[in-house]
Amino acid sequence: MQNALILPILITFLISGCASTKQLEIFTKEVERMPLNLELPPVETLEQVNLIIITSDNQEEVFAKLKEQNIDPVLFAYTDEDWELVTKNNVRMRNTIIRLRAIIEAYKEYYEPEEQEGKQNSIIKSSDFEPKTFEKDKD
């Protein structure tokens, strides 16, 4: 009778001593931003502008021609010095457009290369690969 009581108690202790609770593992995964993929604006075609050279000698002829063509006899003019500056300003503006465009394209090429499109959008961080530690190692 005594044995019949002791035996199950000992077996219960033996089995429960082997049981352990598993530790929860929390993974952190970085998700990449979706590429913006903005298209550059279409090419703007500029209007053709007619230049008129007017001097003290040809002014009457120029105005007569304007009247003949039913154009208001008025001119918005530059001096030769200012015309030089306007031309240079045009070159500067054009250069700025080219520079900015080149920078935008370089950023796009660097951050949104086409080969990235098919790639999975999650990166497993190196911390996911940290080796597990045993309970006894913690002590």
Residues that bind other proteins (CB under 8 A): 3, 10, 14, 17-18, 40-41, 43-55, 57-58, 79-81, 83-84, 87-88, 90-92, 94-95, 97-99, 101-103, 106, 109-110, 124, 126, 128-132, 134
| Shortest distance (Å) from residue 129 CB to other proteins | 3
| Shortest distance (Å) from residue 132 CB to other proteins | 6
The nearer residue to other proteins, 54 or 71, going by C-beta atoms, is 54
- Beta-carbon contacts of 112 under 8 Å, excluding residues fewer than 6 positions away, are 35, 36, 37
Residue pointed to by tokens 């457009």:
97
Q: Which amino acid is present at 76?
A: F
Question: Could you give the dihedral angle defined by the CA atoms of residues 84, 89, 92 and 98, in that order, rounded to the nearest 10 degrees?
Answer: -110
Q: Of 89, 88, 63, whose CA–CA distance to 74 is shortest? A: 63
The nearer residue to other proteins, 72 or 115, going by C-beta atoms, is 115
The nearer residue to other proteins, 9 or 34, going by C-beta atoms, is 9
The nearer residue to other proteins, 51 or 74, going by C-beta atoms, is 51
Q: Of 135, 136, 128, 134, whose CA–CA distance to 25 is shortest? A: 128
